[in-house]
Amino acid sequence: MKYEDIIRNKEILEYYRRGSAILGELGFTDHSTAHTTLVAERAAEILKSFGYGPDVMELAKIAGFMHDIGNAINRHHHAEYGALLANEILKETDLGLEDRVRIVSAIANHDESYGVASDPVSAALIIADKTDVRRSRVRERDPMQFDIHDRVNHAVTNTELECDPNEKLITLHLTVDEDICTMYEYFDIFLDRMTMCSRAARVLGAQFSLKVNGQKVL
């Protein structure tokens, strides 16, 4: 089972179509395959930067692409639901037991409410997911209807995740229009996620840093 097979899997894609419709009705930002593809590729790049091989990168890409399928069941506990769905799908593949469990565990633990990074795959998934902050994730087109999540994402005009293996540092660089979103609003939404990234980075032997408009804030 390869990542290329996962991204074409009809069952997974149907879960994302249904989950996206549900989250749209609830007013959430984008959690479609546009988000999960970015997460998959970013997770693999994080691991590559810190010297992990293609086998581990492949597991992170699969976990990254599948991590949000649980939204098709319910947004609450979507990580746990997603892990159960992923396990059933991956059971039907030639993926080995240990690799399947690593992927399922990473998916189950990617949410900041109860999740934790326990190995490089789960750590890379968490960092890749929580650093996907961008204007194009906003689905509501009328700024007058924006909630705080919409405002925060809409305010971010540029995002770059920098991995420096020599300094053992992972830095999220954001360009934020502070006329749209204050830093208080940003941290109101993202403090728990940034804390989770910090803990995940330590699993990779690194530190996590956040710079906004060129200034270090975490």
Domain containing residue 184: CATH number: 1.10.3210.10
Q: Give the span between the Cα atoms of 139 and 155, in whole angstroms.
A: 14
Residue 23 DSSP one-character state: H
Closest CA to 124 of 88, 152, 151, 161: 161
Q: Determine the pLDDT at residue 187.
A: 87
Count of domains for the chain: 1
The neighbour count for residue 94, using CB atoms within 10 Å, is 8
Q: Range of 78's domain?
A: 3-216
- How far apart CA 117 and CA 203 sit, in angstroms, is 7
pLDDT along the chain (218 residues), means of 10: 95 98 92 97 98 98 98 97 98 97 98 96 98 92 85 94 98 95 87 96 98 92
**Do 65 and 3 contact (CB within 8 A), yes or no?**
yes
The per-residue pLDDT for 218 is 85
Instruction: Note the Cα 72 to chain centre separation in Å.
Output: 17
Supply the DSSP symbol for 89.
H
pLDDT score of 73:
98
